[in-house]
Chains A and B, each alone.
Chain A
Amino acid sequence: MTPPHSPHPNEPSSAPTLSPLPPCVFPVDPPPTHDPSASPSAVLTIDRNVFHNLGESPYIMFFSLSFQQSTTISQQRTKHLYYPLLITNIQSTLLLSPACVHDILSQTRAAASIRAELIPPPNNDRPNDGQIKFNVEVGPMGCMGYDVVPASSNYSGVGDTADSSSSGGGGEQASYVQRLKSNRILRLLERTLLIGGSMDAEALCVQSGVWVWRLVVDVSLTDDGGNAVDACVLAVVAALRHYRLPEVDVGGGGGGGEDVTTPSSEVEMVYRETRIIHSDDKEPTPLPLHHTPLTATFALFADEAGTTSAVSAFLDPTDREELACNGILTWSYNKYGEMCCLDFPGGCELSPSQLMKSSVLGKKRCVEICEMLETALLEAEAKAQTERMERLKNLRSLTVVPFTDEDVGTDGDVFSEDVIMANNTAETDARAEDEEYRQLALDYASGHIAASVKEDKSSMSAGKNRQYETSSLFHALLHSAKSTPLDPTLDSASATVQVKESAIDEVVDSDMKTEEDKIREIEMRHIDVEAEQKNVSFSCSTNAGEDSDEEENIVQLQSEFSVMPSDKPAAKAIAEPVANESKAKTVAPEPKPVKQQAADVEEDQIDDLVMAVKKKKSKKSKKK
């Protein structure tokens, strides 16, 4: 059994004769190194302290190893049985969250990155379920022996690995092994995270039956030095913890971002304008993870001679150990010591007591890695926050300073995008967003000058959707003026109501002497001009609903004034003066007392606006 060997510098006694090579570059070739007894090059006597002996036997194990790291095993694995773990480079996120986990588990590295997409619910019978899709890629970057193979993922569409090389000749073995590896990682991820209960598909629902999140988790093994499973799981869990889901604004309000509109005129299922708010504007939320499970993998070595049932388990095996082992066992625990998953694909017999003993060790190890993960996450979080602050500062400094036309354009764009609505859709928006809307409308109306108080400006949206600027603005104004809790339907027909309201406003405003009112007057006149331009486009549509609107008119107005005081200025005047005035006269007296309160409220709300408006007024005069 003793081969000719040259004395290794570290180990005076039996040392293998393989030349030292960095472990992660070795090709994966199962046949030669699969069986240690085939080419034994060393006999290593291992002290019981070094080995974690799961068996009952108290003997010293004789073990023959044919790879280079036998020496390292005996020396480094005295206490811990695993290499130190380093989690580095958990990078900060925007919407993407690359979490690159450098596990120095004998230089095994895995990288995981997450992105989220809004999709309509994929399962018709589960309208509240989101989707989490794992793509596991084990490619030539990981190891020289791996081929380029598409990632295996857990949803059809991106099916399992379908190599052309596998249909060919000699590549089949390698790709089969590789496919198994990625498959195993994938299944373990799936089981630990999805079925094991840490991620809840229902928590990814944005709007029931309309929008759900789909999280796409891409895992790639950048270096395979053994124990790829642990590294991948760690990377994925770190990425999931670090990732922040952006806020979604359902139904046209607030900040602008991507425009996901499907104009439809269905009565019930309407895809509203849903926006993913950029993470700069609204703080993104973390993912709803119930707990963070991590895994600990053992490589099992049965007794060679078969005489004893003693089994040795190496925690966190290197690639050589993996190749030489008889079986693999993976425990998954979270930081509270709760067992999450057990995956024992066999290959080596274990008595139940041995299994339970290994569970204890696995638990300890998992808890330790969990702690490391937590500290690393905190650091990464802090870093992400600082970066975000920096970015926002730069952003704000650009928009606050000048009230130039360009910025106006920007702001107008922002505003208009906020406002894009389908003509025939109706929403009931959150009150807060309405308020913001009105403030935006105020700005726009008062001369396109930015009041940079609002949070949901989107830098991304600049330049987009310019063509909708004017018409959508109009819609926006109408909408904001219009929308009240009592009135769910918002259609162009009801635009006329706005029109009438604005006429009334005009009448009433003259009584007020506050600055805001004056501003409003100016706005309204300004908007009148615009509105008249738009009138044509709306006349046809408005005519249809006119009759009904007239009945609603009064109701709306009252509710309008009582509920949403600040949207008065947003109500824009449009032609039909005759009808307006007649109505206005009738309704005018009523809103007055309400208006007073409204004005007060307005004053409070638009403090900054006053400042801005003052400047605007000067500009306005220039413009006019």
Chain B
Amino acid sequence: MTSLRRTDILSLIHLRSDGRRPNEIRHMSCHLGALPPTTDCGSALPTSGCSGSALVSMGLTQVLCVVRGPCDVGRRSEELPDRATLEVTMRTTPFSPPGDRRVTNPSTDRRLIEQSHLLQTALSASILLHLFPKSKISVAVMVLADDGGRLEASINAATLALMDAGIPLKDMVCACSAGRWNAGGSDEIVVDLNRREIQAATGSAGGGGGAPGGGGTSDTIYLPVATMPQRGTVVLAQCESRLSGGAEAFGEVLEVAMKGCQMVMEIMAAAVRERGAGLWKAKEGKADVILVD
């Protein structure tokens, strides 16, 4: 990979490397019910057993999420007496990372474990777990293609899969990332970073222990954020860059990220409506979708 200069990120015509403007998110497509809950062959083949599924792609990053539950907890020791247990696993496929990244073992990769845990806590803020005591909701996320932002895509996919499974949520959890560079003296806050931009922002080429490129002098921020847009609250935020200005700069980027989440939510809501309309139509013959503001 050729070395990436930060000035390449925002070219002179103010477009990013993939042709987006700084305030545009990647093309996002959501497909609910990607994995049918039961197979066609009846009992000959086992059902996929999932209550809901969703396939989300943000740009080139593609994530499949499958939700099973609420179901019985296998082990009594894992039961919680008053609420459901939320079990999240996140795995990458061997073909998902780009070619130059080292192959990591998905079951023991520390980043994946961390991101599974983040997913779990982010979702547990939204799922009404109290409605299902002593049961288990399991969310399995598979990253099919990783072009940056796999955590955000996973959160979005998990939310959609939960909605597809009919599990009650307080609000949709939408995730988006935002970042900031000092490109040529001017700060640019951009939304929904892809892999190249993340690498430029954090300076590491996909490995722990890499030296940050510009992290010392300029304020580069990479901030993945998950919010509940309708309630306006932040559910998850991670930032690992050194900011000299204290948290004010961080606050701006956070705002931009929240706006990005808002955009994501609109897309997701449209997908949910479409799915609902499709199901209703299959049942009733026709469906009218009326938006109530």
Contact = CB atoms under 8 A, between A and B. Distances in A.
A352 B236 contact: no
Contacts of A352: 232, 234, 251, 254-255, 258
Given A197-B242, A338-B244, A346-B235, A187 B111 contact: yes
B5 interface: no
B215 interface: yes
Chain B: interface size category: 35 or more
B87 to A, nearest CB: 9
B240 A195 contact: yes
Contacts of B114: 183-184, 187
Contact of B238 (A38, A336, A344): A344
B117 interface: yes
A197 B215 contact: yes
B209 A291 contact: no
Given A196-B241, A201-B211, A186 B110 contact: yes
A606 interface: no
Contact of A346 (B79, B226, B239, B240): B226
Interface in A135-185: 152, 154-156, 159-162, 169-170, 172-173, 179-180, 183-184
A12 interface: no
B118 interface: yes
B8 interface: no
A195 B212 contact: yes
A27 to B, nearest CB: 13
Interface in A277-294: 290-291, 293
Contacts of B82: 35, 37-38
Interface string B203-219: 11101111110011000
A347 B124 contact: yes
A66 to B, nearest CB: 13
Contacts of A155: 208-209
Contacts of A620: none
A201 B215 contact: no
Given A170-B77, A197-B212, A340-B242, A187 B110 contact: yes
Interface in A192-209: 192, 194-198, 200-202
Interface residues of A, number: 70
A154 B234 contact: no
Nearest to B108: A160
B113 interface: yes
A336 B245 CA distance: 10
Contacts of A191: 238, 240
A201 B209 contact: yes
A341 interface: yes
Contacts of B226: 346
Contacts of B104: 156
A197 B223 CA distance: 16
A129 interface: yes
A349 B242 contact: no
Contacts of A197: 212, 215-216, 241-242
B283 to A, nearest CB: 34
A184 B116 CA distance: 11
B250 A31 contact: no
Interface stretch (A100-108, A356-364, A394-402): A356-364
Nearest to A214: B209
Nearest to A198: B242
Contact of B242 (A172, A190, A338): A338
Nearest to B208: A154
Which of the listed residues A160, A194, A345 has the most CB atoms from chain B within 10 Å of its own CB?
A345
Nearest to A291: B242
A309 interface: yes
Interface in A366-419: none
A35 B154 CA distance: 27
Given A197-B216, A346-B118, A352-B258, A359 B234 contact: no
Nearest to A203: B211
Contact of B125 (A327, A351, A359): A327
Contacts of B109: 160
Interface string B90-124: 00000000000000110011110110011001101
A308 interface: no
Contacts of B64: none
A197 B125 CA distance: 31
Nearest to B204: A195
Nearest to B216: A197
Contacts of B83: 35
Which of the listed residues B109, B212, B245 has the most CB atoms from chain A within 10 Å of its own CB?
B212
A428 B118 CA distance: 54
Nearest to A174: B77
B247 interface: yes
B266 interface: no
Contact of B240 (A196, A345, A360): A196
Contact of B250 (A326, A339, A343): A339
| 6 nearest CB pairs, A to B | A349-B233, A160-B108, A197-B215, A346-B122, A191-B240, A346-B236
Given A160-B108, A195-B210, 19 more contacts: A31-B81, A35-B80, A129-B210, A131-B209, A154-B208, A169-B75, A170-B75, A172-B75, A180-B113, A180-B117, A183-B110, A194-B210, A327-B121, A342-B250, A345-B238, A349-B231, A350-B235, A356-B247, A363-B247
26 contacts: A31-B81, A35-B80, A129-B209, A129-B211, A131-B209, A155-B208, A160-B108, A170-B75, A172-B77, A184-B114, A190-B208, A200-B212, A290-B216, A326-B125, A340-B241, A342-B223, A343-B238, A345-B121, A345-B236, A346-B121, A346-B124, A346-B235, A350-B234, A352-B234, A356-B251, A360-B247
Interface of B: 75, 77-83, 104-105, 108-111, 113-114, 117-118, 121-122, 124-125, 202-205, 207-212, 215-216, 223, 226, 228, 231-247, 250-251, 254-255, 258
